[in-house]
């Protein structure tokens, strides 16, 4: 049985200076591809859904498929709800069996962000081993139903970080540091490594990891950037856009090349193989291969 909550998995990662891939899926072929790759690479892994696919498939169905796949996996697998702004939907997903919930209160003013995050954290902690991620500052770009213009994105204020973590009760903390959702518009996005390291030192002083840090906007970051973020204590690394593009491009190319075939199983197979290659690329980059206990 490999159903797992994220907190301990991510504390182990940050302590061991590697990072866990958190992959957004929109369909079950992608979920199978992520979990199969994790098994092959012997790594813990996080499967995540944004709100739209969770609403479309329903949290209960997603959890049923997740549990079936995770229970027979030989590695720990979490199921995370990504960037949910609605308290009630966070609670529904936690009730259904998601193991981690991200309440995204970053569009609120600071005090309201603390309040909504606290409400979800208290609810999830009462349910049991359900961990909660909160965000301070805003991540630019488009993620599912949330769109933040790059020039309106605000980096996390390190001075508020400890207060936010303590008062909101989160288990995982996502400070905005200049990464963005979607495809980066510039070749060298300005990532504030210093801010990230400062936040890490404030929240988890001297490498004593209590609240692991999350990196959003994983698609398109150069390998040297990713490695630097991992070395600075990034414990969870979110990838979404890459897997969406891989799904669409592979489907399009397969059908284009096999126009007369009409064999959906072969399209699924092509998609699964392509997703597995992308997931393997990130696992290698994040250094988590072989880390499943």
| Residue numbers at the binding site for ligand 13P (CB under 6 A) | 24, 82-83, 143, 181-182, 216-219, 238-242
Minimum CB distance to ligand 13P, residue 103 (Å): 13
Nearer to ligand 13P, 278 or 293 (CB): 278
Specify burial of residue 187 (Cβ count, 10 A radius: 0-12, 13-18, 19+): exposed
Q: What are phi and psi of 184, to 5 degrees?
A: -65, 135
Residue 67's alpha-carbon distances to 9, 32, 50, 189, in angstroms, are 18, 12, 18, 37
Q: What is the Cα gyration radius of the chain?
A: 18
Minimum CB distance to ligand 13P, residue 10 (Å): 15
Minimum CB distance to ligand 13P, residue 93 (Å): 15
Reading the block at residue 15, the tokens are 């302590």
Reading the block at residue 75, the tokens are 């590695």
Minimum CB distance to ligand 13P, residue 82 (Å): 5
Nearer to ligand 13P, 117 or 241 (CB): 241
User: Is 82 annotated as catalytic?
Assistant: yes
Catalytic residue among 12, 82, 104, 171: 82
Nearer to ligand 13P, 22 or 39 (CB): 22
SS3 state at 159? helix
Q: How far is CA 111 from the centre of its chain?
A: 24
Nearer to ligand 13P, 118 or 278 (CB): 278
Yes or no: say if 200 and 232 are a contact pair by the CB < 8 Å rule: yes
Supply the residues annotated as catalytic.
82
């Amino acid at each position: 049985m490999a159903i797992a909550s994220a907190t301990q998995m991510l504390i182990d990662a940050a302590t061991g200076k590697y990072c866990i891939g958190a992959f957004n899926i929109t369909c079950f072929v992608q979920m199978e591809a992520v979990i199969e790759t994790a098994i092959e690479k012997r790594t813990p892994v996080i499967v995540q859904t944004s709100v739209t696919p969770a609403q479309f498939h329903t949290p209960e169905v997603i959890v049923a498929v997740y549990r079936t796949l995770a229970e027979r996996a030989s590695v720990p697998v979490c199921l995370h709800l990504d960037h949910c702004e609605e308290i009630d939907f966070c609670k529904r997903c936690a009730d259904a069996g998601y193991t981690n919930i991200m309440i995204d209160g970053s569009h609120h003013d600071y005090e309201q962000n603390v309040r909504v995050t606290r409400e979800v954290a208290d609810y999830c902690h009462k349910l049991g081993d359900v961990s909660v991620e909160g965000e301070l500052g805003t991540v630019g770009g488009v993620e599912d139903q949330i769109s933040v213009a790059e020039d309106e994105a605000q980096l996390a204020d390190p001075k508020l970080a400890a207060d936010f973590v303590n008062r909101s009760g989160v288990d995982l903390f996502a400070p905005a540091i200049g990464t963005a959702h979607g495809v980066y518009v510039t070749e060298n996005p300005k990532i504030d490594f210093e801010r990230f390291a400062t936040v890490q030192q404030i929240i988890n002083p001297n490498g004593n990891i209590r609240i692991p840090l999350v990196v959003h906007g994983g698609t398109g970051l150069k390998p040297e950037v990713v490695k630097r973020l991992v070395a600075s204590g990034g414990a969870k690394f979110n990838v979404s856009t890459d897997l969406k593009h891989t799904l669409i491009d592979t489907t399009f190319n397969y059908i284009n090349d096999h126009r007369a075939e009409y064999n959906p199983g072969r399209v699924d197979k092509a998609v699964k193989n392509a997703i597995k290659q992308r997931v393997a690329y990130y696992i290698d980059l994040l250094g988590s291969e072989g880390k499943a206990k």
